[in-house]
Chains A and B, each alone.
Chain A
């Protein structure tokens, strides 16, 4: 019997310069408790996805700290870190804890406070997701890694900067209707192309912003949901996770993301489903090229064809496969260790029929969360009743 999602909540993703990780996390947790009449005493464990608390806030040990702040001081707690896939990995561990019978109710949350540091410091912290010696010490930045992938992809498949920009335009436009999104402004392809270079061929609007925020999902067993008369709609049909070399230079190819392919295969198998069964998708678009590579890795497009999604409108809200209806990382924001949990929040709302960009008839939804430039990837498939 698949685990159920009892409740979900997110803070707005934005710059919250006067806040802190503990405040943001608790804000999301209280909303999640209130949504379903569950409280801290119902929890068996608190899992926290967080990437840079120790680098930005000098705060490690986030598991126990945040369990305490959500009123569950004595439960099992742990911080789970897999770079930008910390949230997806946290959710998957919560699902496994419930599936194994070890826990009946797990609060799986994520939190990140990034904007309080200056841009070089944040770029430096993000670079911790790469190979320090072979990449960072050579002057490579995190955007630079995706830029290397983007240029190679454009070379191999004839993609243009305009094709990358179409992803940014779509996701920014989706963000406008999402009250929890960081950007509330429509963009055109020309706006994207006119933004300043960060790591050629990528420009500012090919990249997600620096964001603060928190998201929380309460995962419960079916028996717990029944005992507590919980009104749950979303079930976890399948999850997958895989790894790859951290350094881009150690990969067999830089225009594919094999860890995502493996994670997707595992999740599709467990859910007994296939790409053509998926109604709505949240993918990890930290850079425009990342969404294109994700759509190919997940089996929605063949190699070199992923640009079609945004360029031809196939992944638009009214397209055949809406992708990143939340605004994605590009428009909604990317508080790094939170994002994988935030995707589950958005997809649960789609399944519930209460998303600000509601897609008609959502029954099966997929989330794809990436750490580093593809060295950690989780894929989650949710289903309705």
Chain B
């Protein structure tokens, strides 16, 4: 995994996660951008990113790639965090049968091989 992603997941573990906000147009994006994908501005500043979001969509995967061999079935969710940043991660503490679009979830990470981490979502406590 590239260093920038390891840095990103490290910040989630330490509750210091950030996203990049465009000073020109307000669009939010994720590292390692240097230019705003919405307007091309280089004026990006780091802002705090929450861990709470809602499920935009999800899928339970039965046929996977070698890296996840033997782990099926597992559920991948597309989640929009409160700052309108969307992330892709694996569902934990629940199955596809337990969640629905619009459900509140919390972002986390889970260690994988060689010191890298996968993004995870858990159902939010009320």
Contacts and interface: CB of A to CB of B under 8 A. Distances in A.
Nearest to B116: A137
Contacts of A198: 61-63
A355 interface: no
Contact of B118 (A138, A196, A199, A250): A138
B46 to A, nearest CB: 18
Contacts of B29: 250
Contact of B60 (A120, A197, A245, A248): A197
A137 B118 contact: yes
Given A138-B88, A249-B86, A199 B101 contact: no
Interface string A247-267: 111100010000000000000
B1 A120 contact: no
Interface string A120-162: 1101100100000111111111011001110110010000000
A247 B88 contact: yes
Interface of B: 1-2, 5, 29-30, 37, 56-69, 71, 74, 76, 78, 86-90, 96, 101, 116, 118-119
A223 interface: no
A198 B62 CA distance: 5
Nearest to A152: B57
Interface residues of A, number: 36
B63 A143 contact: yes
A248 B90 CA distance: 15
Contacts of A102: none
Contact of B101 (A119, A127, A152): A152
A200 interface: yes
A200 B74 CA distance: 11
Contact of A135 (B59, B60, B88, B101): B88
A155 B74 CA distance: 21
A202 B62 CA distance: 10
B87 A139 contact: no
Contacts of A140: 61, 76, 88
Given A133-B2, A151-B101, A141 B63 contact: yes
